[in-house]
């Protein structure tokens, strides 16, 4: 049986549908990403899988164990890094790690192989209180604490949120190395660019999964033609393009705007030039995960 199986999970908080008919499986050694903004339902799903919250409906299994009936066994087998920093701020780096090893009846030494790579990066600060570490360091320590009992499944809830691009890259490099140890990892992120670092992803919004597949398939199946457009006055360009009757969507994407339109690009070029734009560039662009996500979001909003 696959190490993580989620079948038709529903969860309601008052009037809010936090999770709506969520189903997916994660294969052995797979790095599976839940991609979506705050409020998509990612943390709720983690809490259900970590046996901290009951679903209203549906079924979920971790290592073949039921998240409701077998919660005690599951808790011994999984490593869970919550979205909110949950280590002891006034214990040192070393004390935190030692604490988590002890409550799982193990020692740092016993499973040191698994955490060596990561722990060596924070070892110079091992006598510093966890609360005084930088954001990236905190996340590395939290990952060590989640791994110290050699879990057979890893749940990481937004490990890179609020972390700078360098630390984010280092964190993902560590996950790639952990994959080699064949531990299945379920990881969530609001950063769309991180989707490409996962084997498969579920794109989530408003408690529902909009699409599940490998990142490359998701992007290659996206059929809408995208144009990258820029000029010397980007703010006016956004407004002018949105006012154009044959432009469907227009969003900033780095130094360009990404535009979907039925208009002929040459017609758009001449009308923008007439409108006084200089430094115009109009060229075809390759869609990324974020383009697909935004397109799915708009479709979801229209369907409601």
Partner 1 sequence: MTQAAITTTALTKRFGNFIATNAISFDVAQGEIFGFLGANGAGKTTAMRMLCGLLRPSSGEARVAGFDIYTQTEQIKQRIGYMSQKFSLYEDLTVKENIRFYGGIYGLSNSQIREKTADLLQRLSLEQEGNMLVRALPLGWKQKLAFSIAVIHDPSIVFLDEPTGGVDPITRRQFWDLIYESAAKGVTIFVTTHYMDEAEYCNRISIMVDGKIKALDTPAALKKQFGADTMNEVFLQLARAKS
Binding footprint of partner 1 on the chain (CB under 8 A) = 36-40, 134-136, 161-169, 190-192, 205, 234-235, 238, 251-255, 290, 293-294, 297-298
Which of 182/301 has CB closer to partner 1? 301
Which of 39/265 has CB closer to partner 1? 39
What interhelical angle do 135-147 and 165-179 show, nearest 10? Answer: 20
Which of 38/264 has CB closer to partner 1? 38
- Nearest approach in angstroms of CB 162 to partner 1 is 6
- Nearest approach in angstroms of CB 45 to partner 1 is 16
DSSP string across 156-212: ESSTTTT--HHHHHHHHHHHHHHHTTT--EEEEES-GGGGGGSSEEEEEETTEEEEE
- Nearest approach in angstroms of CB 294 to partner 1 is 5
Phi-psi region at 131: left, alpha or beta (left = phi > 0; alpha = psi -120 to 50)? alpha
Q: Both tokens of residue 109?
A: 């030494």
Which of 183/294 has CB closer to partner 1? 294
What interhelical angle do 135-147 and 93-103 show, nearest 10? Answer: 20
- Nearest approach in angstroms of CB 207 to partner 1 is 12
| Nearest Cα to Cα of residue 19 among 36, 4, 40, 38 | 40
Which of 254/284 has CB closer to partner 1? 254
| Nearest Cα to Cα of residue 129 among 85, 84, 91, 86 | 91
- Nearest approach in angstroms of CB 62 to partner 1 is 26
């Amino acid at each position: 049986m696959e190490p993580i199986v989620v079948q038709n999970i529903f969860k309601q908080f008052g009037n809010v549908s936090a999770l709506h008919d969520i189903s997916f499986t994660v294969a052995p050694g797979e790095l599976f990403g839940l991609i979506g903004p705050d409020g998509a339902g990612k943390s709720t799903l983690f809490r259900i899988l970590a046996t901290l919250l009951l679903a209203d409906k549906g079924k979920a299994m971790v290592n073949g164990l039921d998240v409701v009936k077998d919660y005690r066994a599951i808790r011994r087998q999984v490593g869970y890094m919550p979205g909110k920093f949950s280590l002891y701020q006034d214990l040192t780096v070393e004390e935190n790690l030692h604490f988590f090893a002890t409550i799982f009846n193990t020692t740092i030494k016993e499973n040191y192989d698994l955490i060596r790579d990561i722990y060596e990066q924070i070892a110079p600060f091992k006598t510093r209180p966890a609360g005084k570490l930088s954001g990236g360091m905190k996340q590395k320590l939290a990952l060590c604490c989640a791994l110290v009992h050699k879990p057979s499944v890893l749940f990481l809830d937004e490990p890179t949120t609020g972390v700078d691009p360098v630390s984010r890259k280092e964190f993902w490099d560590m996950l790639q190395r952990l994959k080699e140890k064949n531990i299945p990892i379920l990881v969530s992120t609001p950063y769309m660019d991180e989707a490409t670092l996962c084997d498969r992803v579920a794109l989530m919004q408003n408690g529902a999964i909009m699409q599940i597949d490998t990142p490359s398939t998701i992007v290659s199946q996206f059929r809408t033609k995208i144009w990258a457009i820029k000029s010397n006055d980007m703010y006016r360009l956004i407004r002018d393009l949105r006012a154009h009757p044959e432009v469907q969507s227009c969003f900033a994407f780095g130094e360009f705007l990404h535009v979907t339109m039925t208009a002929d690009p040459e017609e758009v070029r001449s009308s923008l030039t007439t409108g006084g734009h200089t430094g115009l560039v109009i060229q075809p662009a390759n869609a990324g995960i974020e383009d697909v996500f935004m397109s799915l979001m708009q479709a979801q909003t229209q369907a409601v």
